[in-house]
Amino acid sequence: MRAPTAEAMRAFGARLAAHLRAGDLIVLSGPLGAGKTTLVQGIAEGLKVRGPITSPTFVIARVHPSLTQGPPLVHADAYRLGGDLEVDDLDLDASLEESVTVVEWGEGLVEGLADDRLEIHIDREAGDEARVLTVRAVGPRWADTPVDRLEG
Ligand SMILES: Nc1ncnc2c1ncn2[C@@H]1O[C@H](COP(=O)(O)OP(=O)(O)O)[C@@H](O)[C@H]1O
Ligand SMILES: [Mg+2]
Protein backbone atom coordinates (compact mmCIF):
# COMPACT_ATOMS: atom_id res chain seq x y z
CA MET A 1 0.00 0.00 0.00
CA ARG A 2 1.21 3.51 -0.78
CA ALA A 3 0.57 6.85 0.94
CA PRO A 4 1.74 9.58 -1.48
CA THR A 5 1.30 12.43 1.04
CA ALA A 6 0.90 13.03 4.77
CA GLU A 7 -2.75 13.76 4.06
CA ALA A 8 -3.13 10.35 2.39
CA MET A 9 -1.47 8.75 5.40
CA ARG A 10 -4.00 10.38 7.74
CA ALA A 11 -6.85 9.34 5.45
CA PHE A 12 -5.64 5.74 5.58
CA GLY A 13 -5.61 5.95 9.38
CA ALA A 14 -9.16 7.26 9.42
CA ARG A 15 -10.35 4.44 7.17
CA LEU A 16 -8.58 1.88 9.32
CA ALA A 17 -10.19 3.37 12.43
CA ALA A 18 -13.62 2.38 11.13
CA HIS A 19 -12.57 -1.25 11.66
CA LEU A 20 -11.09 -0.81 15.12
CA ARG A 21 -12.64 -1.64 18.46
CA ALA A 22 -11.73 -1.86 22.12
CA GLY A 23 -9.04 -4.47 22.76
CA ASP A 24 -7.22 -3.89 19.48
CA LEU A 25 -3.45 -3.50 19.45
CA ILE A 26 -1.54 -1.88 16.59
CA VAL A 27 2.24 -1.93 16.48
CA LEU A 28 3.90 0.68 14.23
CA SER A 29 7.45 0.37 13.00
CA GLY A 30 9.64 2.31 10.59
CA PRO A 31 12.43 4.87 10.88
CA LEU A 32 12.24 8.31 12.47
CA GLY A 33 10.10 10.57 10.29
CA ALA A 34 8.48 7.64 8.49
CA GLY A 35 5.00 8.84 9.38
CA LYS A 36 3.99 6.71 12.38
CA THR A 37 2.66 9.64 14.38
CA THR A 38 0.97 11.01 11.26
CA LEU A 39 -0.83 7.68 10.87
CA VAL A 40 -1.92 7.82 14.53
CA GLN A 41 -3.36 11.30 13.86
CA GLY A 42 -5.57 9.78 11.18
CA ILE A 43 -6.62 6.92 13.44
CA ALA A 44 -7.50 9.45 16.16
CA GLU A 45 -9.54 11.47 13.68
CA GLY A 46 -11.43 8.36 12.59
CA LEU A 47 -12.03 7.21 16.15
CA LYS A 48 -13.17 10.72 17.12
CA VAL A 49 -10.99 11.00 20.19
CA ARG A 50 -9.67 14.15 21.82
CA GLY A 51 -6.40 15.40 20.35
CA PRO A 52 -3.90 16.55 19.69
CA ILE A 53 -1.75 13.57 18.77
CA THR A 54 1.87 14.60 19.05
CA SER A 55 5.21 12.87 19.34
CA PRO A 56 5.53 12.74 23.07
CA THR A 57 8.82 14.13 24.38
CA PHE A 58 8.53 13.26 28.04
CA VAL A 59 5.25 11.40 28.23
CA ILE A 60 5.58 7.94 26.74
CA ALA A 61 1.93 6.88 26.72
CA ARG A 62 -1.09 9.11 26.44
CA VAL A 63 -4.80 8.37 26.72
CA HIS A 64 -7.11 10.20 24.31
CA PRO A 65 -10.71 9.89 25.48
CA SER A 66 -13.50 9.42 22.98
CA LEU A 67 -15.56 12.48 22.03
CA THR A 68 -18.48 10.15 21.35
CA GLN A 69 -19.28 6.81 22.97
CA GLY A 70 -16.36 4.93 21.45
CA PRO A 71 -13.23 3.47 22.98
CA PRO A 72 -10.35 5.73 24.03
CA LEU A 73 -7.11 5.72 22.08
CA VAL A 74 -3.94 4.88 23.98
CA HIS A 75 -0.96 6.20 22.03
CA ALA A 76 2.43 5.03 23.21
CA ASP A 77 5.88 5.78 21.89
CA ALA A 78 8.45 3.25 23.02
CA TYR A 79 11.38 5.07 21.39
CA ARG A 80 12.98 6.07 24.66
CA LEU A 81 12.36 2.80 26.45
CA GLY A 82 15.20 0.56 27.39
CA GLY A 83 16.82 2.66 30.11
CA ASP A 84 15.19 2.92 33.51
CA LEU A 85 11.80 2.69 31.93
CA GLU A 86 10.62 -0.59 30.46
CA VAL A 87 7.51 -1.46 28.50
CA ASP A 88 5.95 -3.00 31.63
CA ASP A 89 6.10 0.41 33.31
CA LEU A 90 3.73 1.80 30.71
CA ASP A 91 1.05 -0.49 32.14
CA LEU A 92 -0.52 -0.91 28.71
CA ASP A 93 -2.09 -4.22 29.66
CA ALA A 94 -4.20 -2.38 32.26
CA SER A 95 -5.97 -0.35 29.57
CA LEU A 96 -5.72 -2.73 26.62
CA GLU A 97 -9.13 -4.33 26.86
CA GLU A 98 -11.17 -1.12 26.91
CA SER A 99 -8.99 0.88 24.49
CA VAL A 100 -7.56 0.93 21.03
CA THR A 101 -3.82 0.80 21.71
CA VAL A 102 -1.29 2.05 19.16
CA VAL A 103 2.41 1.72 19.94
CA GLU A 104 5.19 3.39 17.94
CA TRP A 105 8.56 1.62 18.10
CA GLY A 106 6.85 -1.28 19.82
CA GLU A 107 8.24 -4.09 17.71
CA GLY A 108 9.94 -6.70 19.81
CA LEU A 109 8.50 -5.13 22.96
CA VAL A 110 4.72 -5.32 23.09
CA GLU A 111 3.84 -8.48 21.17
CA GLY A 112 3.34 -10.28 24.48
CA LEU A 113 0.41 -7.99 25.30
CA ALA A 114 -1.99 -9.57 22.83
CA ASP A 115 -2.11 -12.64 20.62
CA ASP A 116 -4.00 -10.64 18.00
CA ARG A 117 -2.43 -7.50 16.64
CA LEU A 118 -1.96 -5.44 13.54
CA GLU A 119 1.65 -4.74 12.61
CA ILE A 120 2.18 -1.82 10.26
CA HIS A 121 5.60 -1.04 8.88
CA ILE A 122 6.20 2.29 7.16
CA ASP A 123 9.06 2.99 4.81
CA ARG A 124 10.08 6.03 2.83
CA GLU A 125 10.18 5.74 -0.91
CA ALA A 126 13.54 6.89 -2.23
CA GLY A 127 13.59 10.49 -3.43
CA ASP A 128 9.89 10.92 -2.85
CA GLU A 129 7.41 12.14 -0.28
CA ALA A 130 5.52 8.87 -0.61
CA ARG A 131 5.52 6.16 2.05
CA VAL A 132 5.01 2.47 1.59
CA LEU A 133 2.97 0.60 4.19
CA THR A 134 3.22 -3.08 4.91
CA VAL A 135 0.32 -4.36 6.98
CA ARG A 136 0.51 -7.70 8.71
CA ALA A 137 -2.48 -9.03 10.60
CA VAL A 138 -1.68 -11.49 13.37
CA GLY A 139 -4.38 -13.67 14.90
CA PRO A 140 -8.02 -14.53 14.20
CA ARG A 141 -9.29 -11.09 15.28
CA TRP A 142 -8.45 -9.70 11.85
CA ALA A 143 -9.78 -12.58 9.77
CA ASP A 144 -12.79 -10.58 8.53
CA THR A 145 -11.07 -7.18 8.34
CA PRO A 146 -10.11 -6.15 4.80
CA VAL A 147 -6.82 -4.65 5.94
CA ASP A 148 -5.28 -5.02 2.51
CA ARG A 149 -8.23 -3.30 0.86
CA LEU A 150 -8.19 -0.01 2.74
CA GLU A 151 -6.48 1.82 -0.09
CA GLY A 152 -8.19 5.09 -0.85
N1 LIG B 1 3.42 10.33 2.68
C2 LIG B 1 3.63 10.75 3.93
N3 LIG B 1 3.18 10.04 4.95
C4 LIG B 1 3.40 10.44 6.23
N5 LIG B 1 4.10 11.55 6.57
C6 LIG B 1 4.59 12.30 5.57
C7 LIG B 1 4.38 11.93 4.22
N8 LIG B 1 4.98 12.85 3.44
C9 LIG B 1 5.53 13.73 4.27
N10 LIG B 1 5.30 13.43 5.57
C11 LIG B 1 5.80 14.19 6.72
O12 LIG B 1 6.80 13.41 7.36
C13 LIG B 1 6.75 13.62 8.76
C14 LIG B 1 6.51 12.30 9.46
O15 LIG B 1 6.67 12.51 10.83
P16 LIG B 1 6.06 11.58 11.95
O17 LIG B 1 4.68 11.18 11.59
O18 LIG B 1 6.27 12.26 13.25
O19 LIG B 1 7.03 10.30 11.82
P20 LIG B 1 7.41 9.20 12.90
O21 LIG B 1 6.35 9.21 13.97
O22 LIG B 1 7.45 7.92 12.14
O23 LIG B 1 8.77 9.56 13.43
C24 LIG B 1 5.66 14.62 9.03
O25 LIG B 1 6.20 15.91 9.10
C26 LIG B 1 4.76 14.47 7.81
O27 LIG B 1 4.05 15.65 7.51
MG1 LIG C 1 6.46 9.35 16.04
**What CATH code is carried by the domain that includes residue 73?**
3.40.50.300
Domain count, the chain: 1
Question: In this structure, is residue 146 part of a structural domain?
Answer: no
Each residue's pLDDT tens digit, 20-67: 999 999 999 999 999 999 999 999 999 999 999 998 666 789 999 999
Which ligand has an atom closest to residue 8 CA?
A: 1
Reported as a pLDDT band with limits 50, 70 and 90, residue 87 is confident
Q: Which of these ranges, 102-106, 111-115, 147-151, has the smallest mean pLDDT?
A: 147-151
Give the domain extent around 61.
Answer: 2-140
pTM given for the model: 0.95
Question: In this structure, is residue 148 part of a structural domain?
Answer: no
Q: Please report the pLDDT score of residue 60 as a whole number.
A: 84
- Rounded (5°) CA angle 57-28-95: 75
* CA 78 from centre of chain: 12
Nearest-CA residue for atom 9 of ligand 1: 6
pLDDT of 147 over the 90 cut: no
CA of 28 to the centre of ligand 2 (A): 9
Nearest-10 crossing angle of helices 36-47, 6-17? 40
pLDDT of 98 over the 90 cut: yes
Question: Which of 10, 32, 38 has most ligand 1 atoms within 8 Å of CB, for mutation?
Answer: 38
Question: In this structure, is residue 26 part of a structural domain?
Answer: yes
Question: In this structure, is residue 103 part of a structural domain?
Answer: yes
